[in-house]
Structure formats: structure tokens, C-alpha cells
Structure 1
């Protein structure tokens, strides 16, 4: 399938209508045969549900497309050849995906996600894993956040990475990752979003983004995640999408490892080297994107999945009944850590302490992660050692003593 410009405009107006999400969009297309016919039917559907369904006018939709084009992007529709094949298979796949770059989107991919407040050990392992996966020919998908996400993107710029945004393409979040976006695009990677141009990300937009991260990937690797982490939401979506879930074990003394250790207890594949991912993903890639995914392991019932939007419930609408108020579908609550960035330390000592964990790490790596000189790190470590807060190991590595 290839949409005409007029059809693409109709699709955009329909999906941008309040009360129309991916599932309702699909139902409307199936019921009326085209987006144009569905747009014509919206006033009557709205009256029967006691709600005004008013799509944006053509000029507003044309402005959005023009703004995306000025940034070098384009809208790709489900069913078109460039639309990611794996993403198209998930429930509630975005009908339209705004893409910059994009040649990499149908390369076999693995998602790497984790804590924004990551430890130096977690960041170092992320870099090693992302680099290895890239060298094996896989694209690495992540969410452009601080911490694990950013390190994953940077580690495989030359081999290919995909960043999934929670807001519009002109609302990079966090804002200081604009240079990272430029680097991703400059090296042949891709940046994707489903929200409109000008859209500032809100709490509920991050779960929407997360189901795209897992949907683009054969498997999702969680590297560091607390028990109430947005990364665990992504892992849940991966299960619902019949994709593999991997977790990197961590110290039981580190709260950033509680979520990943729980995932392993629940059946996620333990990862301590690149081969652990490749051994599982390799056979799935050989079978192709149209084959069934991972074997079922108590996966949630998709019929019980919460909606991402306040969508009108067309299935509950009986055309023989008089007009009335039809309830909207339930929506996902905002994850606890995704609405705002965590505390960003503004002094060297606080930043270095935040990067330490019960896992030993070398001072050179600690200095690189903190963005300071080795001499500053050594001074801070001496102070921490005198306070009884760190333990020194062989080869100059140190670890945090949990209290």
C-alpha cells in the first residue's frame, strides 16, 4: 500500500481528532473503508455518543506536514513499505509514524533501556552491550533519555541506532540531547515520534513511547531499573507484544537493580554478555518478522490491556439505541519517574557519589561518566574513604558501601 498525499492528509486529520486513538482509528477504517469516509461520519458518531468529534481542519494538518518536512522528516503509514514491519504487528501500532532518517527501521533491532540515574557500572555495561550488538549487525533502539538510553545510543552511532521520542520532533526531551539527535541522524540512524509537531511530552506520553520502543524490537534488555520504573512498563509491553525480555542482574544492595533482578526471577533471560542476547534473538531473526515471536510465558491477556488514549468505544455503540453518553476506555496512569527528569547533580562530589554502586568500577571510567578529571575523582574518593563510604579493590577499582 502507498497512500496518496490526499489520503495521508485524511489519515493525519483522523488520528489527530480527540477521542480517536490507534485502535479506534483502525476500527473506523475497517468500518467505513477510508479515512475520508470516516471523517464524514464523525459528526453523526459524535452526536450518538454525546460528544463532539471535530478533526483538525485541512490547513492545520498541512502545516504539521510542512513543519515536519522542514526538519527533514516524513509521515509513514501502516501498510506502507517503509513502515517498520515488527511495529506494524503490535496492538495499537501508530497509524502514522513521523520519521527522520529511517533507512535503518527495518533492520533487526534490540531495545536497550534502563535507569536515568544510572551507575557507572551500568553505563559501562550498556556501552559494551550496545557496541557488541551493533557489531553483530543489530540496530539498537532506545528512548533518548539520560543515563542508560543516552549511553546506548552513543555506543552504536556508527553501527545504527533508533531514538523514539515522547513528544514532537521539534520538542526534543531532554532539550540538551539535541546534539545527540543530530549525531544519530548524521550517522544514518533514525528518530521517530507519533505525537504532533509542537507537542511537549507529558507523563502519559512516555508509556506510549515505551510500547513503540519494544514494538520496534525483537527483544528488550533492561539494564538498571528500580521496582517502580518506567523501564518495567516497557518490559511489560514487550511481553504483551510477544517479544523477548532480557535483564542484566545487579547487586541486591543497589536499589537500581531491584527491578531487573525481579524480572529475572519472573523468567526474563539473564544477560551478562552480548552472546546471551544473540543466542535468543538469532533464531527469531532467521524466522523473519512475520513469524510468531517468543514462546508464551504467562503473558498478559491483551483484552485486559489499558488504552493509551481516551478513545471512543465504537464496539459499545449500538446503532439502534438513542444518543447517549458512551464512556471512554480506561487510560494508563503516568509512570512514577517519567513525567520529570530526576535530580541532576550540579556539583562534582554529588555526581560522583550518584554514579557509584556496590559493583566495583575503575576510577578512569568513573571520571569519564562524571565528565571530570581523574584528579577530582581521586580527591572525592579519598574523602569518601575517610568517611567509610567506599571500599577499594584491586586494579584501582572502588565500590560504594551500602548502609
Structure 2
């Protein structure tokens, strides 16, 4: 069932609460049954744990909704009929999305095409042509509206269907020189963002954007990318999500070819054209369903146990199962402790059951 209007409002408010990312959001809903129930329980949880995860005022959420309405933007929450199925299968899914344009594109078969911002003319030609061929074959092309490869991919698929995922709000035109591209995207295609309406993109927003790019897509194609680039982060996220990773090979003399060539060494699928993508997709495979999380997150934990769990954390992400084994404690009790530590700002919960300082 689609969430009620009151529950949708509560989910937006909970998603905008400091220290509550997608992992904590999912676990709190599992514990309290709804966002409204979570917001009712948060004051007691805050007093008990000393957390500072205070929800924004109702008025702030109303202002965001009003700003979205002025843009003719749509708010999607998990459970809405139009919420993208591919994203709903992630562990955890993004709690909310803002969209502008043709929302139906989010539920069509999609392929991401990403790469270098300072791209070669040849790389842009490959991205544009590949996107055009993907569109003619029935695929929506997903990218991030960045300079270079992203922009070329959107241009190539504009007539057949493309989705731009933004790091800032759904109204944040970045880079500024893409104002014309943005206007055509909201008129002919679709723009989507997890960030609040009106937010300007910051460095911390792009990993979340990249996770949505790969999450929406059946496969990710990297055309050009240096070794340290956001495109390789998108490729890694795609592999973790069970998506196919494709790489267009390039000359070893060009540093922009080092990223795709390294992906090929790691087992990515070589992509010289759409035939390589279609061949991989016709191989019989299914997207694995994420394991259902049986944890209740409502086990009792005291300050001493919180400190014992916190002492085992490090900057390196660690599986929560490993922490439970080290403490010889029930996993539900450890999960409840990690949730409280997250709300206190002492731990960060990551997708895949990982946690870090």
C-alpha cells in the first residue's frame, strides 16, 4: 500500500533529520513500524542516549514541499507506486526522491554511461553514440549531468529517454553552463535528486548521487576516467549492487584510459559497442533480492554495552556481525547499540551491514 499523506510527510521529515541516513532510516522504520512512529519515539530515544538527532521543525518540511510544488517537482517515497523498482531493491534504498520531468523513465530498463569531466573529443563521441544506440534499443540512459562524458551521454539519449541524477537539489544546475541541458532534461527527460529542494551540491553529496546512478541501472559503462575519479566509485557501487560493469578500453598513453583499463583488469566487461552490452544482458541472470533483515533493533542496551561496541569501531568499515562475534553478543543487541551510537554521532552506519567511526 502507498503511504498515507501524513506518513509521506513524516518520512520526508525523518529523512531530513541530522545523522539519519538511509541505513538508520531503514532500521528505525523496522524498529518502530513507520516514520510517524519513529518521530513519536525519537524524543525518548534522544533522552536515553544523549543523541542530538533532532528532527527539523514541521515548518521547514512544509517549506521544502512548497518549494517543490513551485517547481512542479514530484516527491517519491519508498512505497509509492512510481518509486523506482531498481532502487527499492537496494539495501537500503534511498528514503525519498525529488523528480522533475517524466517520472515514468525511472522504471524503464536503464544503463548508466559515466566518465571523465575533462573528456577527449573521441571519448565524448563514443559516449554520445553509445547512448544513442542504447536508446534506440529501448534503454534509458542514466548519468550525472557533469561536464564531458555525462553531458555527451545525455545528449545522445535525449530523444529516446535519459535520466540525470544530481548531487544538489532537483533545482541545482551544476555546472552552471549546463542550464540549457538542464532545461531540456526537465522538458524532455527526467531529473532526480535525493537532496533537499534548493540545496547546492557539495563534495559529500556525490557518492550518494553515484549510488543512485548505479542503483537505477542494470549496468554501468565507464568511457573515460582517471584512476581517482567518481566514475570508478560508481563502478564499484554497481558491482556491490549486483549490476554489470562495462569499460571502454583506451590507449595507455592517455591517463583518462587508466580507469577503464584498470576495471578491465579487475574483471569488467569489455565494451566496444552496444553489442557487448546486449550480449551480457542476454546471458541468463537475475538481480539478487536483498536479504530480508530480521533484526528488531529494539533490544535493551546500557551505557556500558554502548562503550564496548564503540571501542571496537575504527575508521575502516567493519561488518556488524564481526562486532557481535567479538563481543559474543546477540546481533540484535549489537544492531540496537549501533543505531543509538549513530544517533549520538559516534558511529556511521553504511550499506551492506557495515559500520565505522
TM-score band (shorter)?
0.7 to 0.9
Structure 1 residue 66 displacement after superposition: 1.4
3-state secondary structure, aligned to 1:177 = helix
Paired residues of 1:168 and 1:198 also in contact (CA < 8 A)? yes
Alignment of 1:292 with 2:292, yes or no, is: no
Paired residues of 1:115 and 1:225 also in contact (CA < 8 A)? yes
Paired residues of 2:338 and 2:347 also in contact (CA < 8 A)? no
Structure 1 residue 11 displacement after superposition: 0.6
Name which of structure 1's ranges 234-243 and 47-56 shifts more when overlaid on structure 2. 47-56
Q: 1:235 and 1:198 mapped to 2: Cα distance?
A: 28
Q: Gaps spanning 5+ residues in structure 2: where?
A: 290-316, 321-332, 352-357
For residues 303-318 of structure 1, what are the structure 2 equivalents within 5 Å? 303=319, 315-317=335-337
More helix by share: 2
Paired residues of 2:19 and 2:345 also in contact (CA < 8 A)? no
Q: 2:131 and 2:110 mapped to 1: Cα distance?
A: 11
Paired residues of 1:65 and 1:74 also in contact (CA < 8 A)? no
Q: 2:338 and 2:98 mapped to 1: Cα distance?
A: 35
3-state secondary structure, aligned to 1:105 = helix
For residues 110-125 of structure 1, what are the structure 2 equivalents within 5 Å? 110-125=111-126
Paired residues of 2:53 and 2:344 also in contact (CA < 8 A)? no
Q: 2:344 and 2:201 mapped to 1: Cα distance?
A: 29
Name which of structure 1's ranges 125-134 and 49-58 shifts more when overlaid on structure 2. 49-58
Q: 1:325 and 1:186 mapped to 2: Cα distance?
A: 43
1:152 maps to 153
Paired residues of 1:24 and 1:314 also in contact (CA < 8 A)? no
3-state secondary structure, aligned to 1:180 = helix
What's the RMSD between the two structures over aligned residues? 2.4
2:277 maps to 277
Paired residues of 2:3 and 2:79 also in contact (CA < 8 A)? no
Q: Gaps spanning 5+ residues in structure 1: where?
A: 294-300, 305-312, 333-403
For residues 31-42 of structure 1, what are the structure 2 equivalents within 5 Å? 31-42=31-42
1:395 maps to none
Distance change >3 Å, CA 146–CA 280, structure 1 → 2: same
Q: 2:344 and 2:53 mapped to 1: Cα distance?
A: 13
1:202 maps to 202
Residues 82-109 of structure 1, C-alpha deviations (whole Å, 9 max, x = no match): 0111111112321111111211111000
Distance change >3 Å, CA 326–CA 259, structure 1 → 2: closer
2:97 maps to 97
Alignment of 1:216 with 2:216, yes or no, is: yes
1:247 maps to 247
Paired residues of 2:24 and 2:349 also in contact (CA < 8 A)? no
1:328 maps to 347
Name which of structure 1's ranges 89-98 and 204-213 shifts more when overlaid on structure 2. 89-98
Paired residues of 2:14 and 2:35 also in contact (CA < 8 A)? yes
3-state secondary structure, aligned to 2:105 = coil
For residues 111-190 of structure 1, what are the structure 2 equivalents within 5 Å? 111-187=112-188, 189-190=189-190
Name which of structure 1's ranges 51-60 and 263-272 shifts more when overlaid on structure 2. 51-60
Provide the TM-score with structure 2 as the length reference.
0.81
Structure 1 residue 303 displacement after superposition: 4.2
Structure 1 residue 316 displacement after superposition: 4.4
Structure 1 residue 314 displacement after superposition: 8.2
Q: 2:218 and 2:90 mapped to 1: Cα distance?
A: 12
Distance change >3 Å, CA 331–CA 90, structure 1 → 2: closer
Provide the TM-score with structure 1 as the length reference.
0.72
Number of equivalences: 309
Paired residues of 2:114 and 2:150 also in contact (CA < 8 A)? yes
